[in-house]
Structure 1
């Protein structure tokens, strides 16, 4: 009974470690794409342009409105970010004419007030997180340049057709025209908007993660069911090796039969040095081998990979792996901690 329980624990640990490793790979690829294409920064400035200046040219929203925009327009076709400027914010904000909108509108005035926290990314701003306090102060600075203060700023926003007019007017009325309460109200409003934007960003990123999980599953052709059987077989094999000293020549003969060699020692050494977790990526389109001596080598595995990919018996295992990767690395790390009893620093004190 204890041996059976141990086998199931080994199976659970092996599956969790494999799914955690592959989930980390998916997360790493996603983070690399996000950083390379500056997705977070584009998402923020797309929202700001929608909120401060209105729709993009041709009446389209700057924010993605569907999967086509998520995978095409936002990463490649339209860049809503202002051009990077190394100069510090001027003491007196610029005042474009009231009819100025789009690239000369409120969004660029906002960037002018916050560009001290910026550094360039291929000529564009890299700001991907705008603190609510900084946004509120920027709005107060813009209001200070208007003849009527906040009232003047609201009139300018109304004249340019900015969607921000309605939001700030509601905050100004609820603050009863008190400047300090208005600033605090703008902070709270912008903070809630950033939370909403984060939820929208995560919803769209799930589609990217789903695509990457599918690519990883198919490129490495990790059959979760086959891998589970390999784990159980390895456990049984190790149990046989351990039992040789207690069971005598009969167990040794059985071991020779399994290895199909007169001397099973090389077979035992090779099997124990390459457990299932090490071999889980052997079926990738490009496999890697690490010999006992010498440098690691890579091998093109295209023919065997394609045969495995089009074999229907592997498809349920691929589906299991794909669904497992959709849970994400944090989920599998938490499962691993629960199984092994690892405690986080916060829990361990």
Structure 2
């Protein structure tokens, strides 16, 4: 026998799933349009090459607009100066050839970056030199000590330097990817809070409505049973279409303005109290959206299994479907 508590939980989870999909589509569209991943990758290279003090030079609203319209100078490599090793390496044909004109790649394989790094040094300071001599010519003490420490007591040639750069690049980019994921989750929270306020997606009020309206709860449970995991398409225009489709899906839920929370409110104190509860509901919705759609897909599946109305198991001859949906990283 199904429990009303589980039905309400499934209905809420389905609503949060729809909101998280809308927020994810919006964030992906923004990241694609403004080339956020490429910008974060550039910040990572600056950190890796011990030039992080130059990060403020490549930031700002103007370069973001230039990147939006695919104009030259959107990444402000010229602001790094003529002596910047980062600018020289990122302009190398091995790297610039991986992206369209006016853009930078959002992902660079470590082997390609290491080869571009060593090729930049050898073309500038001469071939046949030892790795220590090449690094001393750069004049970056932090970078020199880091790469020589990775090389250890082994060979002191260009091949050993290239291998050390590849190791250091993978290490730094793993940390940058983790930072980008945490930043993406915060952006998801802000986008979720925006949609929650604009569309009045009040988690507290919605839970009360689902508790008192069994027909509505049953309708959302049916939709949850039919929900299927989906990976968002990478193209920016497709992300916009996905966001529009999800917003239409949300319009069919018991949300929106005017809110019944403010209908019978009279007096300033009562209005402020209602507003405080509304803010709590909006923040709860934004937090739920920041958890991501994979979390709510798994949650719905677990609740439906607990409820005893989950999907039928696959035939023995068919392997069970595996859906992996992860937060976007720099390697896309």
> Shift of residue 135 of structure 1?
1.2
> Shift of residue 317 of structure 1?
2.8
Q: Cα–Cα, structure 1 residues 102 and 172, in superposed 2: closer, same or farther, change >3 Å?
A: farther
Is the Cα–Cα contact under 8 Å of residues 203 and 281 in structure 2 kept in the other structure? Answer: yes
> Shift of residue 233 of structure 1?
3.2
Give the TM-score, by structure 2 length. 0.64
Is the Cα–Cα contact under 8 Å of residues 13 and 299 in structure 2 kept in the other structure? Answer: yes
Tell me the distance in 1 between the aligned counterparts of 2:109 and 2:250: 47
- Please state if 1:346 is matched with 2:322: yes
Partner of 1:140: 118
Partner of 1:47: 44
> Shift of residue 53 of structure 1?
6.8
Tell me the distance in 1 between the aligned counterparts of 2:214 and 2:161: 67
Say what the alpha-carbon RMSD is for the aligned residues: 3.9
Mean CA deviation greater in 44-53 or 126-135: 44-53
Is the Cα–Cα contact under 8 Å of residues 14 and 231 in structure 1 kept in the other structure? Answer: yes
Structure-to-structure mapping, 1:189-338, within 5 angstroms? 189-235=168-214, 278-283=252-257, 311-312=274-275, 313-338=277-302
Structure 1, unaligned stretches of length 5 or more? 84-100, 240-274, 286-302
> Shift of residue 218 of structure 1?
0.6
Structure with the bigger RCO (C-alpha within 8 Å, sep 6+) is 2
Is the Cα–Cα contact under 8 Å of residues 11 and 217 in structure 2 kept in the other structure? Answer: no
Match of 1:27 among 12, 15, 24: 24
Bigger Rg, structure 1 or 2: 1
Is the Cα–Cα contact under 8 Å of residues 26 and 213 in structure 1 kept in the other structure? Answer: yes
Alignment deviations for residues 125-155 of structure 1 (CA, whole Å, 9 cap, x no partner): 2311111111111223234433324234212
Mean CA deviation greater in 206-215 or 189-198: 206-215
Structure-to-structure mapping, 1:3-18, within 5 angstroms? 5-18=2-15
Is the Cα–Cα contact under 8 Å of residues 46 and 81 in structure 1 kept in the other structure? Answer: no
Give the TM-score, by structure 1 length. 0.62
Alignment deviations for residues 285-322 of structure 1 (CA, whole Å, 9 cap, x no partner): 9xxxxxxxxxxxxxxxxx98xx9x97335344333323
Aligned residues: 260
Q: Cα–Cα, structure 1 residues 322 and 151, in superposed 2: closer, same or farther, change >3 Å?
A: closer
Partner of 1:118: 99
Partner of 1:37: 34
Alignment deviations for residues 50-81 of structure 1 (CA, whole Å, 9 cap, x no partner): 4437255xxx54499xxxx7x96985699545
Structure-to-structure mapping, 1:38-77, within 5 angstroms? 38-52=35-49, 54-55=51-52, 61-62=55-56, 75=64
